[in-house]
Amino acid sequence: MLSRGKKIASVLVMAGLLMGLSACGEEEPEQKYVSPTFNTEVVTQDGDKKIVATTEEVEAEKIELSTGDAVKGSDLETDLSTSTTIAGTYENGDYYNPFIGIAIQTDALWHLYDAKGVADATGLTEDEVNDLWYGVVSPYSVKTMTCAIAYKTDTGSNLIVSYINPKLYYMQNMTAREYLELSSRAYKDVEVKNVQYLGQVYAMVELPEEKEGDGRRIQFAIRKDDLIVLLTYTLQGEDELETAADHVTKLITN
């Protein structure tokens, strides 16, 4: 049986965090690379056709998903405007990320990995994780970055907050929706859709359990500046999305 750390490491790989784009955008021998086009043609209400290239231009479906009460940054001991890097910050066992506007709150069952736990799950050293978390190394200089891993102690269900840098995969114009379409293309009968989640428009995909123990995955992705933010929920046993989503809240910083 895999340990929790090894299971999360395998989720990172399957979720496409470590290798989802590694085969995309590669040059063929002696041919100039041409960035692929992901534009989508849609029909407007007037019957006209138009090309949309970003998630935000597409109508988003509202999903009924219970989340925790919104958190105000002004209520925290930490001054988020001065002491928080793009990776977010930890305070009293909880996680706050003003860059993407979310907070993860823990309880007796839901815990957060520290830097050593994230290092064990991702294959980095503890120092490398801390360098990314504290801004010594810019997230814009690496292909992927794991900002936080929350896990449920009794079942192993977890939530991974990570960043993808499409520019380093030669796909700097890739949208969040396009990323999910690429990373989920090995699955049959899955659909990427746009949803309203935590007050923003996310692309979302639900992926079935491939084999026993892998868990069912629901991924939310959104483009922020030059990064794609990925929230990956992996659900084990009878856990439902609401079980994990209830611990994720909107973070208000203004």
* Domain range annotation of the chain: 4-20+59-252
* Average pLDDT estimate for 94-99: 92
Q: How many CB atoms lie within 10 A of CB 67?
A: 16
Highest mean pLDDT among 4-13, 76-85, 131-140, 243-252: 131-140
**Is the pLDDT at 127 greater than 60, yes or no?**
yes
* Average pLDDT estimate for 165-177: 93
> Is residue 25 a contact partner of residue 166, using CB atoms and an 8 Å limit?
no
Q: Helix, strand or coil for residue 92?
A: coil
pTM (2 decimals)? 0.77
Angle at 99 between CA 110 and CA 128, to 5 degrees: 70
The reported pLDDT for the residue numbered 10 is 54
CA dist 105 and 250 (Å) reads: 11
Residue 212 vs residue 70, higher pLDDT: 212
The reported pLDDT for the residue numbered 106 is 92
